[in-house]
Amino acid sequence: MERNRPPRTEARTGAPKHARERRSSTRFPLALDLRYTIAGLRGQEAAGLGRTIDLGSSGLSFTADRPLSIGQRLELSIHWPVLLNAGVQLQLILSGVIVRVDGAITAVEIQRHEFRTRSLGPKLVVDSRNGSAGTIDRLPQ
């Protein structure tokens, strides 16, 4: 004879065990600086800075420098820590909608993403003849 038992819950939150994780993909802890713009009806409404908490293929969480609201559309730019071809800096550009806000922590559902190359100052140039390196404004001799 089977008893009627209440659903199992997570100890910290009391939420049903099956409901505590609704993400469709894994999130990876990643602390990277970001910039965001809030898309308004007439284009860019406001801009701000933040830092990622975690990132996955369908969403991210980050701390924002100002209060944000559920439903706002954002464009985010993250300085990616890995270089392309051992020398080209990248930015991860995301667009999405805010699905959760908890104090300074904001969760975004990613709707579009792309990597772009970025330029921050002079470019590094390596002379393939002797392996010496310099910047584009001061080429190796």
Average pLDDT, the chain: 78
The residue segments making up the domain with residue 88 are 25-135
Assign residue 59 the CATH number of its domain.
2.40.10.220
**Residue 3 counted as domain residue:** no
Tens digit of each residue's pLDDT (9 = 90 or more) over 30-73 = 999 999 999 876 666 789 999 999 999 999 999 999 999 999 99
User: Is 93 part of any domain?
Assistant: yes
10 occurs within a structural domain? no
Q: Tell me how far apart the alpha carbons of residues 51 and 124 are, in angstroms, rounded to a whole number.
A: 28
**Is residue 110 one of the residues assigned to a domain?**
yes
> What is the pTM for the complete model shown?
0.66
Give per-residue pLDDT as tens, 103-122: 989 999 999 999 999 865 55
Lowest mean pLDDT among 27-31, 44-48, 74-78: 44-48
Q: Is residue 17 part of a domain?
A: no
How confident is the model at residue 45, as a pLDDT?
Answer: 77
Q: Residue 140: inside a domain, yes or no? A: no
Instruction: For residue 19, tell me if it sits in a domain.
Output: no
Closest CA to 58 of 93, 102, 108: 108
Domain count, the chain: 1
Phi, psi torsion values for 127, nearest 5 degrees: -80, 115
Which letter, b or e, does each residue of 95-121 get, where b requires 16 or more Cβ atoms within 10 Å of its Cβ? bbebeebeeeebbbebeeeeeeeeeee
